[in-house]
């Protein structure tokens, strides 16, 4: 058996029906693998998941830490492709869950049926129009723009605005000046909010735009607060988040993370 020839056959890019046969076979193999994992005895599932997680983390760590052109670098493109395929299966599981939840709302007459109908209409509308647009079908680009730019982007901006206004209103109701620090925080917040709107420039328009007194203009005070004290705080927070993320990654890599998966018998 010529193993190099077989390996070369499978990694060579294919076209036409051969490509679709590859895709269909890989999909069946993935579904079969997931099915076999569900048939594994419960007590053996956790060690299998932990071993695969540790092996994957060990490979990626060694490939990154060892100097360039090591024995792991050559296989990195294939590992990256495998990660993409695995990610596609997770997307498939997520879509299956969404379809199940929204389908129940539509089929069983729930009070949230309109939400399920909107989900399916938006999902299939943007999916089909996107595929047809890539295929060069005329008129599909306008339909895709309506779904994506006209609806999705607009609703995303609206949701962000609602969340921002909710945070501001909650902060206004809960904020109390009880110390010098909270007073400075309130003052800096007011300066930054005035600096990003035209009203701030109008308030301090009587000050010169150059010279010593110009540093007291609202827009310049806001810029200084954002680029000096605020930037230092953001870097400190980012450093803390990075350290926390590293600790979390180590716990997941070593299968020490507790949660809905590891704290119960499988």
pLDDT tens figures, 106-126: 888 777 888 888 888 888 888
Angle between helices 76-107 and 42-65 (to 10 degrees): 140
Tell me whether residue 144 is exposed, middle or buried, using C-beta atoms within 10 angstroms of its C-beta: 0 to 12, 13 to 18, 19 or more. Answer: buried
Kindly indicate the confidence band of residue 152, based on its pLDDT and cuts at 50, 70 and 90.
Answer: confident
**Alpha-carbon dihedral sign for residues 122, 124, 127, 128:** negative
CA distance 26 to 19: 11
Collect contacts of 180-189 with beta carbons under 8 A, ≥24 apart: 188/225, 188/229
**pLDDT recorded at residue 77:** 83
54: closest CA among 235, 266, 255, 263?
A: 255
pTM (2 decimals)?
0.56
CA distance 96 to 102: 10
Are the C-beta atoms of residues 105 and 113 closer than 8 Å to each other?
Answer: yes
Question: pLDDT by residue (tens digit) across 159-202?
Answer: 999 998 888 888 777 777 788 888 888 888 888 888 888 887 78
**pLDDT recorded at residue 235:** 93
3-state secondary structure of 123: helix
Question: pLDDT by residue (tens digit) across 200-229?
Answer: 778 888 888 888 888 888 888 888 888 888
Q: Would you give the end-to-end CA distance of the chain in angstroms?
A: 40
């Amino acid at each position: 058996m010529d193993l190099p020839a077989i390996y070369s056959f499978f990694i060579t890019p294919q076209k036409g029906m051969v490509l679709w046969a590859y895709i269909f076979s890989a999909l069946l193999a993935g579904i079969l693998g997931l099915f076999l994992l569900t048939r594994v005895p419960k007590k053996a599932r956790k060690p299998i998941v932990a071993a695969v997680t540790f092996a994957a983390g060990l490979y990626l760590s060694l490939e990154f830490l060892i100097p360039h052109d090591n024995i792991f670098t050559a296989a990195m493109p294939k590992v990256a492709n495998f990660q993409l395929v695995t990610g596609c299966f997770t997307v498939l599981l997520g879509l299956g869950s969404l379809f199940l939840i929204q389908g129940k709302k539509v089929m069983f007459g729930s009070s949230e049926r309109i939400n399920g109908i909107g989900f399916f209409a938006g999902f299939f509308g943007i999916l089909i129009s996107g595929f047809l647009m890539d295929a060069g079908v005329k008129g599909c680009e306008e339909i895709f723009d309506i779904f994506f730019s006209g609806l999705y982007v607009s609703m995303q901006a609206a949701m962000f605005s609602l969340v921002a206004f909710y945070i501001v209103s909650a902060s206004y109701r809960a904020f109390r000046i009880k110390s010098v620090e909270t007073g400075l925080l309130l003052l800096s917040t007011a300066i930054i909010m005035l600096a990003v709107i035209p009203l701030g420039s109008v308030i301090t328009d009587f000050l010169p735009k150059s010279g010593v007194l110009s540093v007291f203009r609202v827009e310049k005070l806001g810029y200084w607060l954002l680029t000096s004290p605020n930037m230092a705080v953001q870097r400190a927070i980012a450093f803390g988040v990075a350290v926390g993320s590293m600790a979390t990654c180590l716990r997941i890599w070593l299968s020490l993370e507790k949660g809905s998966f590891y704290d119960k018998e499988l």
